[in-house]
Amino acid sequence: MQFELTKTYLEQLKAAIQDAHAQFILDQIAELHAADIAEILDALNKYEAEYLYQLIEEEEKAADVLIELEDERREELLSSLSSKEIADQVIENIESDDAADVIGELSEEKKEEVISHIENQEQASDIVDLLQYDENTAGGLMAKEMVVVNQNWTITHCLREMRKQAEDLDDVYAVYVIDDDHKLLGLLSLSKMLVSPSSAIISDIYDKELQSVTTDEEAEEVGNIMDKYDLIVLPVVDESGVLQGRITIDDVVEVIKEEAEKDYQMASGISEDVESTDSILDLTRARLPWLMIGLVGGILGAKVIGAFDIHENIEMALFIPLIAAMGGNVGVQSAAIVVQGLANKSIGVDSIFEKLIKELGVALLNGLICSVLILSIAMALGYGIFLSLTVGIALLSVIVFAALFGTFVPLVLDRYDIDPALATGPFITTVNDILGLMLYFLIGQMVALII
């Protein structure tokens, strides 16, 4: 049954912590998954979280809980542990990729102390190796724990070695085949191994077709590959093809989640990665830059309105909100579709012209429908032929321009290695507001001359 953290449950735990009823707390969390306990700890204050965490008796479970915590809460708990406690109680009980993440959050001094306290020298070496990679690359995501067999081994020898390697593993996701230089050759199918004679050589039965990535591959691309080929594990090699580690789907899901959150924040006009629990100053710093862009855009929009003799056709002011809103909405729609296509690789930067043509067709159809609709409504409401024609033609023009602009900008940003998600927020809206108003009033002047 799925655990649900309720207000009543949390209040009971808080009261028990306040009264130091340790046994009651242990009974409450005894059957919970590490992720559920982490959810509880994230909902408590610093003192309460530290008290509850110290009650967890199983070191392996305590380590798993620590990994599941939000970054800020994990840093608080780590600061309450000594370097030796981190090494013995945490690092020894988690896989190398998680261990590298935990140690990477420590200060340089404490990082060295923790590594020096790790008794397993092979594990310490693996962690030091992983720490050299950027966290947003395949090297930063991978773990060193895996089962590896040599192509020259017999099945009998292979089984013996696999048993030794599997003793230190919680899960065996794949069996990788390497040569004498430790270069990755392929995958060993357990089913083939079971039905083959014990004297069979691995080189005769392993699968040579497999997907792999290099250590410097971007984390987002790793996610795309695993999603495209429906993989639960992906091997990582260096530039020479030497096997370095493996990445599992749970690590990639976290990357995809973080990337989606970042894109959503950027599209909403938030320039930094922030959480609702961050300080007022941090939240303000993240939001203010784009608000300033909107402010400048509003001033420029006012200048555009002031540059035209609107007092001669004051009724044009009635449709300014409509023109600005439609331009912004259409631009954001187009940009969002392009950004999504770039993210999942369904479109490429080489198809800019084709994408623009397609968006032009969509914009013309949508624009014609909206323009005819607004023209009819304006005429029915008695706004007159001048204003009705102006609004109808301007709306069509603004929709077409906004769609093309919203398509073109993220494609160009992506070509120059700038996150295209920047184009889906206030930037597109502000530019379309200004240029949309210019089109509106210019068209108004032309219609006035014709009529």
pLDDT 10s digits, 149-198: 999 999 999 999 998 888 878 788 899 999 999 999 999 988 888 889 98
Burial of residue 152 (CB within 10 Å: 0-12, 13-18, 19+) is exposed
Q: Domains, the chain, ranges and CATH? A: 7-133 (1.25.60.10), 147-255 (3.10.580.10), 280-450 (1.10.357.20)
CB of 59 closer than 8 Å to CB of 32: no
Question: pLDDT averaged over the chain?
Answer: 87
Using CA of residue 58, residue 64, residue 65, residue 71, what is the dihedral sign?
positive
The set of residues, in sequence order, having a beta carbon less than 8 Å from that of 65 and lying 6+ positions away, is: 34, 37, 38, 41, 53, 56
User: What does the pLDDT read at residue 422?
Assistant: 63
pLDDT of residue 348: 56
Q: Which residues are CB-contacts of 226 (< 8 A; sequence separation ≥ 6)?
A: 232, 234, 247, 249, 252
How is residue 14 written in tokens?
A: 């808080």
**What is the token pair recorded at 51?**
């008290």
Query: Can you count the helices (H) and strands (E) in the chain?
Result: 21, 6
> For position 71, what pLDDT does the model report?
84
Phi, psi of 441 (to 5 degrees): -75, -35
Can you spell out the DSSP letters for 253-282?
Answer: HHHHHHHHHHHHHHHTT--S---TTS-HHH
Separation between Cα atoms, residue 388 and residue 393, nearest integer Å: 9
pLDDT of residue 204: 93
Residue-wise pLDDT for 204-233, tens only, equals: 999 998 999 999 999 988 988 998 899 999
Quote the radius of gyration of the chain (alpha carbons, Å): 30
| Cα 263 to the center of its chain, rounded Å | 7
The 3-state secondary structure of 385-435 reads HHHHHHHHHHHHHHHHHHHHHHHHHHHHHHHCCCCHHHHHCHHHHHHHHHH
- Where b means 16+ CB within 10 Å and e means fewer, 61-72 reads bbbbbbbbbeee
Residue found by looking up tokens 């323009």 in the block: 371
Give the model's pLDDT for residue 357: 87
Decide: pTM greater than 0.75.
Answer: no
* CB within 8 Å of 5: residues ≥ 6 apart: 36, 39, 40, 43
pLDDT for position 248: 92
Nearest-angstrom CA–CA distance, 316 and 327: 16
CA distance 200 to 149: 14
Nearest to 373 by CA among 391, 349, 387, 399: 391
Amino acid at 328: G
Q: Which residues of the chain have pLDDT under 70?
A: 1, 261, 263-278, 343-352, 421-425
Q: What is the pLDDT of residue 265?
A: 64
> How far is Cα 172 from Cα 368, in angstroms, rounded to an integer?
59
Residue (of 216, 82, 192, 15) closest to 28 by Cα position: 15
What was the pLDDT predicted at 54? 92
Q: What's the pLDDT at 390?
A: 92
